[in-house]
Amino acid sequence: MFQSLIDVILPVFLVIGAGYAATRSGYFKLKHVDGLMMFTQGFAIPCLLFRAIAHLDLSASFDPRLLASFYAGAGLCFLIGLTGARYIFDRDWEDCVAIGFCCLFSNSVLLGLPITERAYGPDNLTANYAIVAFHSPFCYGIGITVMEIIRNRGQGGRRMAGAVLTAMFKNALIIGIGLGFIVNVSGFTLPAVVDQALGLIIQAALPGALFALGGVLVQYRPEGDMRTILFVCMVSLLVHPSLVWIFGKTLSLPQDLFRSSVLTAAMAPGFNAYIFANLYGRAKRVAASSVLIATGVSILSVWMWLTLLG
């Protein structure tokens, strides 16, 4: 399976490395990276998800066993991160929520989609899109709800509910997914010229986002509580996919869905982990360092999971 490291994993990380090198050398400025990230995260990837969900066979894609396996594992990892940060590392509760979110939010789009596509082909992304469709709503729903409960203890539920809904429906990825569902369920067929235009935009989405991710990582240094960072990396890269493996086998998940769910769970924390920490100003150094270090380590951990999946 050494060939999988070369054929599947390294091309993805070479694009990330190119973005890192170009930004580190000064050839790309941070403002260029920010613009590219805005294009990919705020426009191109929402277009990709919109088109994918619009064309998805919903009856075949949303297997309850798939969603139960992946999100039961994700939810447990949030609890592990939350309680570990509190009772092992003695962080305050708001920091604990941000650290739990790092353990919860795997990079299902920027890493999960391209690696799964390279490993198993574009026809085997059905499970990935099903997971991605619920990923941001599920993760932000848990993270924001728990954080707002802790921050607004005794202030009633109205403020908390408003904060959750505002954050959810300002997210471009969620908007793209929601519009895709509307088109799919309504039976509306996109005009050919619109579909082709979306196809052109989508071609730039993942390569551009990976390059921008490399540029973003230049801004962060491995600093803060290294023990906490390593704990987040272990939960994200090892515990989450292990739990999904156990749940998937227990529920007799079909092989193609099983592989995609385990591989997606094995991805490093997504950049949204830092966005969440920055949103609340809690555990920002831990979140940034966890994204940086786990992304680098995942070259080897994803190779291990690909080998185990066969």
Q: What is the pLDDT of residues 61-72, one digit of tens each?
A: 678 999 999 999
Taking Cα atoms as reference points, which of 277, 276, 291 lies closest to residue 218?
Answer: 291
User: What is the total count of domains within the chain?
Assistant: 1
The pLDDT of residue 3 is above 80: no
pLDDT band at 164 (very low <50, low <70, confident <90, very high): low
Alpha-carbon span 158 to 156, nearest angstrom: 6
Alpha-carbon span 8 to 101, nearest angstrom: 28
Question: Cβ(81)–Cβ(232) under 8 Å?
Answer: yes
When the pLDDT of each residue in the chain is averaged and rounded to a whole number, the result is 87
> In this predicted model, what pLDDT tens digit does every residue of 83-137 receive, in sequence order?
999 999 999 999 999 999 999 999 998 889 999 998 899 888 889 988 988 888 7
Alpha-carbon span 202 to 39, nearest angstrom: 11
Name the percent of the chain lying above pLDDT 90: 46
Taking Cα atoms as reference points, which of 13, 34, 26 lies closest to residue 216?
Answer: 34
pLDDT at 168: 63
pLDDT band at 224 (very low <50, low <70, confident <90, very high): low
Alpha-carbon span 63 to 56, nearest angstrom: 13
Provide the domain limits for residue 161: 2-309
What CATH number corresponds to the domain at position 153? 1.20.1530.20
Place of tokens 């749940």: 247
The string of DSSP letters for the chain reads: -HHHIIIIIHHHHHHHHHHHHHHHTTSS-HHHHHHHHHHIIIIIHHHHHHHHHHH--HHHH--HHHHHHHHHHHHHHHHHHHHHHHHTS---HHHHHHHHHHHH-B-IIIIIHHHHHHHH-GGG-HHHHHHHHHHHHHHHHHHHHHHHHHHTTTS-HHHHHHHHHHHHHT-HHHHHHHHHHHHHHHTPPPPHHHHHHHHHHHHHHHHHHHHHHHHHHTT--S-S-HHHHHHHHHIIIIIHHHHHHHHHHHTT--HHHHHHHHHHHTSPBPTHHHHHHHHHTSSHHHHHHHHHHHHHHHHHHHHHHHHHH-
pLDDT at 60: 66
Alpha-carbon span 229 to 285, nearest angstrom: 9
The pLDDT of residue 6 is above 80: no
The pLDDT of 28-57, averaged and rounded, is 88
